[in-house]
Amino acid sequence: MQEKITREMGDLKKEFEDYAKTQIEISKLHITGELSRCLSDFLFKSAMLYILIFILLFVSLAAAVYISELLDSYIYGFLITASFYIVIALLMWALRKPLFEWPSVKRFMQLMYTNSINHEE
């Protein structure tokens, strides 16, 4: 009787160790998948931002030159274009929480909450 209990406890210990190793492997794969997804998303968004900055630069230069020709003054054309971007920057600064902070926190919480639910299943 004692030997049977000892053998069953040994089997139970081995099954628990196998279960723990499997859970660790699942966690590693899950983390690797999430990191890969985040990295590729970051690289894609960085490339798109880089392209958009160049587009914005050339559109801004074209607008500044066009306004300069309308006003017959390069200084005023470029000042008006710069003033437009200053107004945009001030609006973005004033609305930074609802535009950037709150959606970022919400997205992060969804990511963490969703992953913890999927990981437990």
- In a structure prediction context, what are the per-residue pLDDT tens digits for the chain, which is 121 residues long? 788 888 888 888 899 999 999 999 998 888 888 888 888 888 999 999 999 999 999 999 999 999 999 999 999 999 999 999 999 999 999 998 888 888 878 877 777 776 555 545 4
Residue 84, judged by CB atoms within 10 A of its CB (0-12, 13-18, 19+), counts as: middle
Residue 56 lies in domain? 2-120
**Alpha carbons 97 and 104: distance in angstroms, whole number:** 9
Provide the greatest CA pair distance for the chain: 104
Which amino acid appears at position 82 of this protein? A
Number of domain units in the chain: 1
Residue 35, CB-side half-sphere exposure with 13 Å CA sphere:
6
CB atoms within 10 A of CB 6: 10
* pLDDT at residue 33, rounded to an integer: 83
Q: The whole model's pTM is what?
A: 0.58
